[in-house]
Structures are given as structure tokens and as C-alpha cells.
Amino acid sequence: MSRLASLLPCAAAALTLGACSGGAKVRPYPEPTVEVLLARITATTEQVTSFYADDTLMDYWMNDERVKGTVAIMGTTGAKVRVNALSPAGGDVLSDLACDGERFVFVDNTRNCYQTGPCSRDTVAAMFRIALAPDELMRLAIGGTPIIAGATGTVTWDGKAGRETLALTGDGGRTQTIVLDAKDGRADVIMSEVKDGAGALEWRIDNTGFSTMKDASGMARRVPDKSRFRSAGGDKADLLVEWNERQLGLALEDDKFQREVPANLPVCQ
């Protein structure tokens, strides 16, 4: 066979696949709509209403110092979350955050003080400097992402990365970019970023190493192995997470998200 003839199969493949090796490729499935992809994303967050992880490794800011240690965390829909940051030197609780759906209590044992207030984006920020509402944290922890209100937009295919990119615009001019691995019917959120109407970052998450696990009902779920959270606030507003073991869809009693303020403890300044 001549050299030219030997190249013909590659040339034909390049017309349909983009190239014989490397380069851009066409979708290996029919082009999805924005609505289809958003439905995939929201399906998990609608079906999985709780999570628990007691051996999570986090790298975060605490009192202007970078801390890396084990964190026990759990949450349910309805703005309920409980987080214990454990000392790297042992099992002592450095800080405890409890949000019962209405109010939060944060106890900082390193400074012997507390904060309290309504459950809001300030709740998670009290501990990790990441401005996320409890339900937003819940969605991100189970491998999903919050979707901005009033979202409409477009979907484009990144042939080199093999990813779908959603460019969304919502109420108040807010925007959201979501990068997905959508093959085999998946909705693995590789990246999700939200900006306000002025174009300033509200928050962003990047996920790597997706794997499949089963929830309490036996359903297979796709979850990230590692995540990086960022929010407005500069270099000291990021959080690195190695999730390790997680349990999804557990029944978690309300009292697990309640915390009394210790007597005679001052308010954190």
C-alpha cells in the first residue's frame, strides 16, 4: 500500500472525529439542550437530601493562618449543616459550626468565643471564609451545583477537553458558567462559577477525580474526590477538600444541627 493510501483511513476519520490522535473531537452523543443538562444537574440535588463525611481532609484559613486537618461535616436540605474542625495534633475540636435551618451557632475554641445569627451565606463564612449558604454547600458536597435564579443561556462543546460548557444569565444580571462531563448521561460538575451583575466573583468550585458510589437507597451517584471552593475576598477566601468517605441519603435527626452557646463565652470580634 502506498504512503498516500495508508493515510486515507486517517483522513476519513479526521472528517468525522476531528483527528486520528489528539485535537478536537465531535460529541460522542446527540447535542444536548441547556434544559436537558440543567435537569441532570438538579436531579441529584433533588434526590439526595443529606450527606455525612467524618474523615474529610480540608486545607483552609482560620484566624489568618492556613490550617490543614480533618473535618467532620454533615448536612441536609433546609439549610441544616454541622461542621467540626479537628486539631491536626489530635481529635480535639478546634471549631464547631451548627446551623439548624434558621439560626447558626459558631464556637471558636482556639479564641474561646462564639458567633450566632440567621442561617445565610455568613454561616459558612464564619468558619471557612467561603460565602456559601448552607443549601449551596449541600449541593456542592454531593457533586452538584446551585443554579442561579432565572437561568437561561447556551451550551457549547469543548472538543479538546470533551466537556460541555453552559453559559447562563439570570435574574439581576448574574451569570454562571458550568463545565460538565456529560458522557454516558452524566452531569459531573468539573467547574461552576457565579458572578454578580457587575461581573464580580461570588463563588467558584473546581472538582477533580469523580467516582461512583451508592447512596443509602442503593442508587449509584457520581461524586468528586477533591474540590476547591473560592469566593469573593481574595487569596484568603479559598478552601481545598479531599472528601475521602461520604455517605449520602442518610436520615439525620434535627438535634444533630443544634448547638447551645456555652455560658460566659464572649462574642468573637
Distance of alpha carbon 169 from alpha carbon 148, whole angstroms: 8
Q: Which residue has the higher pLDDT, 121 or 160?
A: 160
* Helix, coil or strand: residue 109: coil
Q: What is the pLDDT of residues 21-47, one digit of tens each?
A: 456 689 999 999 999 999 999 998 899
Q: What is the pLDDT of residues 51-79, one digit of tens each?
A: 999 889 999 887 777 888 899 999 999 99
Q: Which domains does the chain have, with CATH numbers?
A: 38-257 (2.50.20.10)
Summarize the confidence of residues 165-175 as an average pLDDT: 98
Query: What would the grid cell of residue 205 be?
Result: 468550585
pLDDT of residue 202: 92
pLDDT of 238 > 70? The answer is yes
pLDDT of residue 131: 84
User: Positive or negative CA dihedral for 40, 41, 45, 46?
Assistant: negative
The answer to whether the beta carbons of residues 178 and 189 sit under 8 Å apart is: yes
Distance of alpha carbon 232 from alpha carbon 238, whole angstroms: 9
pLDDT of 20 > 60? The answer is no
Q: What is the pLDDT of residues 81-135, one digit of tens each?
A: 999 999 877 778 999 999 999 999 999 999 999 999 999 988 888 888 888 889 9
pLDDT of residue 18: 43
Distance of alpha carbon 223 from alpha carbon 114, whole angstroms: 33
Distance of alpha carbon 137 from alpha carbon 132, whole angstroms: 6
The answer to whether the beta carbons of residues 75 and 134 sit under 8 Å apart is: yes
pLDDT of 17 > 70? The answer is no
Distance of alpha carbon 136 from alpha carbon 212, whole angstroms: 21
pLDDT of 236 > 90? The answer is no
pLDDT of 1 > 80? The answer is no
pLDDT of 265 > 90? The answer is yes
Q: What is the pLDDT of residues 176-201, one digit of tens each?
A: 999 999 999 999 999 999 999 999 99
Helices then strands, each counted (H, E), the chain:
4, 16
Q: Which stretch of 5-14, 131-140, 214-223, 224-233 has the lowest confidence by average pLDDT?
A: 5-14
18: left (phi over 0), alpha (psi -120 to 50) or beta: left
